[in-house]
Structure 1
Amino acid sequence: MSTTVSMINRIRTRRLINRQNRAIDRAWLSAPSQAMRDEIAIFAQRQIR
């Protein structure tokens, strides 16, 4: 039972990380200035992955 729960948790975590990465990519691509891209890059580096 615990291995199934562990596997499900890993899948959920991976899906959440992928979703966050896509959101960061969209924000970076739509940023109006280089300064905003730099801020997004700093934010992305501080995320727990």
Structure 2
Amino acid sequence: MSIVDRVRQRRVINRQNRAIDRAWQSAPTQAMRDEIAIFAQRKTF
């Protein structure tokens, strides 16, 4: 994997992490936050 590929991959991962964080913060219930947390733990890169 080239350095450019790694930078691109890191950017995608950071973007996904920010999206998950926004979803978690805006979740109306604790149950929904739990679901988002489970999803975040299971995601693969």
Q: Radius of gyration: which is bigger? A: 1
Match of residue 39 from structure 2? 43
Give the equivalent residue in structure 2 for 1:30.
26
Aligned length: 45
For 1:10 and 1:41, locate their aligned partners in 2 and report how far apart those are by CA, in whole Å. 25
Unaligned runs of 5+ in 1: none
Q: Residue by residue, what CA displacement relative to the aligned partner does 1:13-32 show, whole Å, maximum 9, x if unpaired?
A: 00000000000000000000
> TM-score, normalization: structure 1?
0.86
